[in-house]
Amino acid sequence: MHRLATYRTFALFLFAILVYSIPVSAQLTPKERDSLRVNINRIAQRINARVGVSISLIEAGDSLSYRGEERFPMMSVYKFPIAIAVLKELDRGTTFMERYLLLPKDSIYTGEEETYSDTNFPGGKITIGQLLTLMLVQSSNTACDQLLYLLKGPANMQPYLNDLDIQDMAIANTEKEINIDSLLRFDNWSTPDEMRGLLAIAYTGDYLSKKNHDFLWDKMTETVVGANRIKGLLPKNTVVAHRTGTGYGSYNDAGIITLPSGKHLAIVVFISEAQENPEKCNEAIARIAKLAWDYYSRH
C-alpha cells in the first residue's frame, strides 16, 4: 500500500506543479467545454454503438468525459498496461531486455507466422525487447501472451495496477482465452476515464526509469496499426503515441497527442457493441480526436 501511495502521490504532485504553472487561459472555458461535449455527442449518436470518451490536457489539468465512467472491453488497448508491467520488472532487475525466450511453434497466432518465422527468429529464440516491440508496434497477440506468461499470467497484473492506484480497470484473460471464448473480452475492461488517467500517470510520473519510460512512448509512437483512428484527421506529422484495440464490435484507441504548443492531450475513445461497418467507427474516432485537437489547440 505504501508503494501505491508513493507512485500515485508523486505523479499527482508533479501534475499539480504543471497545473499551477499553466495560465488559466490554457484551459477550456465552460462554454467551450459544453460545446465540445455537444459535438462529441453528435458524432456518437450517428453510429449504432456505445461510445465512451475521455480527454485531458495534461499540463493544464483540464478534462472532459463522455460516458467516461462506463466499462468497456479494452481489446488490445490492454497491451499498454501489460507493457508497463513488463518494463517495471526490467527496472526491478528480475529480467532484462536482451533475455532470450523460446517461442513454441504452437503459440504463434494465425496470421503472424511470417513475423515469427525462422528467418526472423532462428530456432524460435526471441528477446523480451523484441516481444515488447512487436506487441506495441504491430499489436502482436503472440507477443502479448508470451509477455503475460512472463508475468505469471493475467491475474498477476493487479499489483501493477494497484501500484498506480488504477482501480476501474481489470485484466483477467490472455488473447488465446478470448479467441476461444469471445465473451471473456468483457473481463478485460476499463473505463475511458481510468485509461486516460493511466496514460497521464505513465507519461508524467516516475513509475518507470527514464530509459524504459522513453522506450514505451517511442514504441507507442511507432505503432503501425490504427492510422485512421486518433491520427486519421490530424495534421500530417502530428506526434501521436497510441494503442488501439479491435474485435467483436469494439473499436478503441487510446493515446497522447502532442499539440502545436508542445502540450500533450491524453485521449481515449472506446466504441463497443457496434452494429456498423469498421469505416464508420474508425471515422467517428478520428472526428472526435480532430474535435479535441481543434478545441485544445486554441489554448
pLDDT (tens digit per residue) in 205-245: 999 999 999 999 999 999 999 999 999 999 999 999 999 99
Average pLDDT, the chain: 93
* Res. 25: pLDDT tops 60: no
Strand partners for 247: 250
pLDDT at residue 1, rounded to an integer? 44
Q: Helix H segments across 117-262?
A: 128-137, 141-150, 158-163, 175-180, 192-204, 210-222
Report, as residue numbers or ranges, the catalytic residues. 76, 175
**All domains in the chain, ordered by first residue:** 2-297 (3.40.710.10)
75: its cell numbers: 481489446
Report yes or no: 165 and 6 within 8 Å, Cβ to Cβ: no
pLDDT at residue 4, rounded to an integer? 45
pLDDT in tens, 241-277: 999 999 999 999 999 999 999 999 999 999 999 999 9
* Res. 24: pLDDT tops 90: no
7: its cell numbers: 507512485
**HSE (side-chain half, CA atoms, 13 Å) at 31:** 0
Using pLDDT thresholds of 50, 70 and 90, give the confidence band for residue 299: confident
272 contacts: CB under 8 Å, gap ≥ 6: 49, 50, 52, 72, 73, 249, 250
- Cα dihedral angle (226, 230, 235, 241), rounded to 10 degrees? -80
154: Cα separation from own chain's centroid: 17
Using pLDDT thresholds of 50, 70 and 90, give the confidence band for residue 61: confident
